[in-house]
């Protein structure tokens, strides 16, 4: 399916957090805006919010591995951004860089793995890095998780939900069961639920949308 209901609203709200981080970072001496967004299995919200804002210098998603330290790491790139621009904005999906963190192995009530906090980890790593090289850095960390989850649906999602709901009723009256109403290749269709839940949809790191995001941020390959 192309997208699910609530996605446009989530991206729109996430963009507000990025805009706030941008303002805070630009208003501070050597400001670094760090925003952690929802995305426990994929980086769609982080990617689309970064692309739509046009203010993000580094976007990190779980589909693309990266290194924080080293000559080609994220921290070295941030150092160059501070030197050249005087500020920068980083957007990271919550499941990004989990291989860099200690895995507790714990699960929540739904059986999902409890992720380590990449946002707090990066905040501390950035502080330590800039302190170690003797450069002042003012880090503005924003975690808008519940603001993104709990906001009212925007007009686009409200209309989408209405149409999907109507189509679901039409499907039920037509005798279908075990199906979901969705958009696929811009068309409203019914898909079997068993097929939909086979695997989570993930960002294609070789696809055009991710490369559009990279063009917007101007970030290198952090590996």
Domains of the chain and CATH, by start: 7-151+202-217 (3.40.50.460), 155-197 (no CATH)
DSSP SS3 for 37: strand
| Whole-number pLDDT of residue 115 | 87
| Whole-number pLDDT of residue 110 | 80
**For residue 68, pLDDT beyond 90:** yes
Cα 194 to Cα 147, 178, 198: the distances in Å are: 31, 8, 6
Q: What per-residue string of b and e applies to 128-149 under the rule 16 or more CB within 10 Å gives b?
A: ebbeeeeeebebbbbbbeeebe
**For residue 66, pLDDT beyond 80:** yes
DSSP string, 160-174: HHHHHHHHHHHHHHT
Please state, in angstroms and rounded to a whole number, the distance separating the CA atoms of residues 40 and 26.
Answer: 29
| Whole-number pLDDT of residue 114 | 81
Please give the model's pTM, rounded to 2 decimal places: 0.92
Q: Quick one: average pLDDT of 25-45?
A: 95
Q: For residue range 121-148, what is the model confidence (pLDDT) as tens digits?
A: 999 999 999 999 999 999 999 999 989 9
Cα 91 to Cα 14, 21, 74, 135, 195: the distances in Å are: 10, 9, 12, 22, 32
Please state, in angstroms and rounded to a whole number, the distance separating the CA atoms of residues 92 and 72.
Answer: 18
Q: Which residue carries 């603001």 as its tokens?
A: 147
| Whole-number pLDDT of residue 112 | 80
Q: For residue range 162-206, what is the model confidence (pLDDT) as tens digits?
A: 999 999 999 999 999 999 999 999 999 999 999 999 988 999 999
**For residue 105, pLDDT beyond 80:** no
The radius of gyration computed from the CA coordinates of the chain, to the nearest angstrom, equals 19
């Amino acid at each position: 399916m192309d997208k699910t209901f609530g996605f446009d609203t989530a991206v729109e709200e996430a963009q507000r957090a990025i805009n706030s981080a941008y303002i805070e970072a630009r208003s501070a001496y050597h400001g670094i805006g760090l925003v952690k967004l929802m995305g426990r299995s994929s980086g769609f919200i982080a990617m689309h919010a970064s692309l739509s804002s046009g203010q993000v210098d580094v976007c990190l998603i779980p589909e693309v591995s990266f290194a924080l330290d080293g000559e080609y790491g994220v921290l070295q790139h941030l150092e160059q951004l501070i030197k050249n621009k005087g500020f920068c904005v980083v957007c990271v999906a919550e499941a990004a860089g989990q291989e860099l963190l200690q895995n507790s192995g714990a699960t929540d009530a739904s059986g999902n793995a409890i992720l380590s906090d990449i946002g707090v980890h990066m905040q501390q790593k950035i502080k330590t890095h800039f302190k170690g090289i003797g450069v002042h850095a003012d880090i503005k960390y924003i975690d808008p998780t519940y603001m993104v989850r709990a906001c009212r649906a925007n007009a686009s999602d409200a209309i989408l939900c209405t149409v999907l709901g109507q189509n679901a009723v039409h499907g039920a009256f037509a005798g279908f069961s075990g199906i979901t109403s969705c958009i696929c290749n811009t068309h409203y269709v019914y898909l079997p639920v068993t097929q939909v839940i086979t695997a989570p949809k993930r960002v294609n790191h070789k696809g055009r949308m991710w490369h559009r995001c990279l063009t917007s941020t101007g970030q290198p390959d952090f590996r």
